[in-house]
Amino acid sequence: MPRYPKEQGFTLIELIVVLVIVILGFSAIGISMSSGHDTAEIKAAARDMVSALRYARGQALMDHEETTVDFDLEENSYTISSRDKVYTVPDEISLTVVTAQSELTGQGQGSIRFYADGSSTGGRVTLERDKAKLQIDINWLTGACELSDTFDDTD
């Protein structure tokens, strides 16, 4: 009687072990992607705000008149004086504004003013969400806006 060589292949246990490893890998990727979404959301909000501040400075220079970016911290929103649109920041993001005393217009409300010569009242806008913290610094002399980020990696 002829002997057949033992067939090569994988056992059911080996296949299950490989599937469990693949599932664990995908779940780890899913967790890291969901935490990255929080960071992406705050970065997008900060980039939009920097864009609005730079736009306001540009408008002040082009129109030769003062332009303000008005912040409402209770509503988590801001507006540009030459536009009617209200820009909102997601409620999960905490918004803080440091500006000149003369630009505080009410409880939780303040402005950053850009002048026709390119200068501004200056200030700092801070956006925070969980461990992510982004700061927008507005130079009073040049009106330039600079975005910097600080992530707390201590666990």
Cα distance between residue 97 and residue 93, in whole Å: 13
pLDDT attached to residue 49:
97
Tokens matching residue 68: 């303000």
Is residue 98 within 8 Å of 90, Cβ to Cβ? no
Domain boundaries, the chain: 12-151
What is the residue-level pLDDT of the chain in tens, covering all 155 positions?
Answer: 566 566 677 888 988 999 999 988 888 777 666 556 668 899 999 999 999 999 999 999 999 999 999 999 999 999 999 899 999 999 999 999 999 999 998 889 999 999 999 999 999 999 999 888 999 999 999 999 999 987 555 54
pLDDT attached to residue 33:
63
Element at 45 (helix H, strand E)? helix 12-63
Residue located via tokens 């992530």: 151
pLDDT attached to residue 155:
46
Length of the chain: 155
pLDDT attached to residue 88:
96
User: Which CATH number is correct for 12-151, 3.40.50.450, 3.40.50.620, 3.55.40.10, 3.40.50.720?
Assistant: 3.55.40.10
Cα distance between residue 61 and residue 115, in whole Å: 7
